[in-house]
Amino acid sequence: MMLRLHELTTDDEFKSVVELEHEAYSKPFNGVWEVLKGSSPEECCVRQLSWHRNDPSSHWVYITDESSGDVVGAAQWNIYKENPYANGPPELKAYWLPEGPLKQVSDQLLGGWVEKRPRYMSKPHLLISYCFVHSAHRRRGVATLMLKWGTERADKLGLESYVESTEIARTTYEKHGFELVEDLYMDASIGNANEELNAVRKKLECPIHGFLLKRNPVSR
């Protein structure tokens, strides 16, 4: 399989990225993605594209299989040349979800997700916000190309890189120099009496376990 890395430069490229994102993050199940994906791939595409356009730190790259032209992997690297948390963590709410139990739980999960970032990331750094590979194309070097794109820039800038990883991806990041900072647990405090909210927690497989990983820059 011949692979080629592309830097996303046009809006038209993003549709294929989001279509892949829905496939990749559903295999295996990912509770965070269940919150982020929204009501449809179309809505998700419009929303994520808006986030990208309005964030000067955002850089999307994607990989194609040159034999078929299919998009088989994509990643978003955020390059922060200044402290992004000078005013504390942002208030992150699932505004794209309708009012109800899923939104109530999601708001708490997202808030807990970002609240620890200033403790470690209150300085210039790089962050892998998304990184995913089609389930049929894993372990073929797709992730390596996307991680190399960002780590080379981190080394050139002399900056640390961070990622909040799932269990399935942790080994891949560690092969590229990332090391464990701490375990992460995302959950919502809702009390045992609320059956609807507890049903949502169960569906999302809360508490959602992840890992905060860091890579130090390498001098060339």
Question: How far apart (Å, rounded) are the C-alpha atoms in residues 76 and 11?
Answer: 15
CA neighbor of 31 nearest in space, from 129, 109, 100: 109
Give the DSSP letter of residue 37.
T
Domain boundaries, the chain: 3-215
Question: How far apart (Å, rounded) are the C-alpha atoms in residues 140 and 134?
Answer: 11
pLDDT tens, residue order, the chain (220 aa): 799 999 999 999 999 999 999 999 999 999 999 999 999 999 999 999 999 999 999 999 999 999 999 999 999 999 999 999 999 998 899 999 999 999 999 999 999 999 989 999 999 999 999 999 999 999 999 999 999 999 999 999 999 999 999 999 999 999 999 999 999 999 988 766 688 999 999 999 999 999 999 999 998 7
At the fourth CATH level, which superfamily is domain 3-215? Gcn5-related N-acetyltransferase (GNAT) (3.40.630.30)
The edge-to-edge listing of strands for the beta sheet with 3-7 is 3-7, 58-65, 71-80, 125-133, 161-165, 208-215, 179-186
- ∠ Cα 99 128 16 (to 5°): 70
**Number of neighbours of residue 157 by Cβ within 10 angstroms:** 15
For residue 76, give both structure tokens. 């978003």
In the chain, the amino acid numbered 79 is I
**Number of neighbours of residue 215 by Cβ within 10 angstroms:** 24
Does the pTM exceed 0.85?
Answer: yes
State residue 93 phi and psi, 5-degree precision.
-125, 150
- For residues 60 and 74, the answer to whether their CB atoms sit within 8 Å is yes
Per residue, the 3-state secondary structure of 50-95, as one string, reads HHHHCCCCEEEEEEEECCCCCEEEEEEEEEECCCCCCCCCCCCCCC
